[in-house]
Amino acid sequence: MLQFKKLGTRDWQVVQQIAYQTWPVTYEPYLTPQQINWVLATVYSEQSLHQQMLGQQHLFLLAIENGQALGFVSYENNYEGLHQLMIHKLYLLPASQGSGIGTQIIGWLEAIAKAGKLNRLLLKVFCRNGNAIGFYEKLGFIKIGTAEKNIGNNCTVLDDIMAKDL
């Protein structure tokens, strides 16, 4: 049975471990190994994860089944001062993808949003990540725009902005 555990700053290493297993598989077709390593070293460092949790008020949940960590999600309520829940990150270990866990995570986030009287889910997904885009579309998300982002190390990416009204 899938369970969710709220993570705090002491749990940064489990987030980092999942990211280090997931990012190379997910982004190898699109980014160089140097770019992937740079993102992992900066976005998933202890200091950065603490800043995301404390300074930016991102909430992290760990998806666990049979005592095994399978993935994590980070999100923010009332994103940009509006009644929306922003999904900042959702990563599952490669072996867990396609098993329904991502769908359960989105369902959990919908329940959180509705309980908080938020009226939509919002996310950004790399525009060339067809698997993720297809997953979100299957769950009722629609593309509402694009956003260009400099992720550092001379790498700019284009994200699709997707939303699901609740």
pLDDT in tens, the chain (166 residues): 899 999 999 999 999 999 999 999 999 998 889 889 999 999 999 999 999 999 999 999 999 999 999 999 999 999 999 999 999 999 999 999 989 999 999 999 999 999 999 999 999 999 999 999 999 999 999 999 999 988 766 778 899 999 999 9
Contact between 133 and 160 (Cβ < 8 Å) = yes
Q: What is the pLDDT of residue 30?
A: 86
Q: What is the pLDDT of residue 78?
A: 96
Candidates 53, 61, 45; CA nearest to 7 is 61
Tokens standing for residue 138: 């299957």
Question: What's the CATH code of the domain at 140?
Answer: 3.40.630.30
Q: What is the pTM of this model?
A: 0.94
Q: What is the pLDDT of residue 161?
A: 98
Contact between 98 and 60 (Cβ < 8 Å) = no
Tokens standing for residue 105: 């995570």
Q: What is the pLDDT of residue 119?
A: 97
Say which residue the tokens 């008020």 belong to: 57
Beta bridge partners of 14: none
Neighbours of 53 (CB within 10 A): 19
Contact between 12 and 18 (Cβ < 8 Å) = no
Domain span at residue 145 reads 2-165
Number of domains in the chain: 1
Q: What is the pLDDT of residue 54?
A: 95
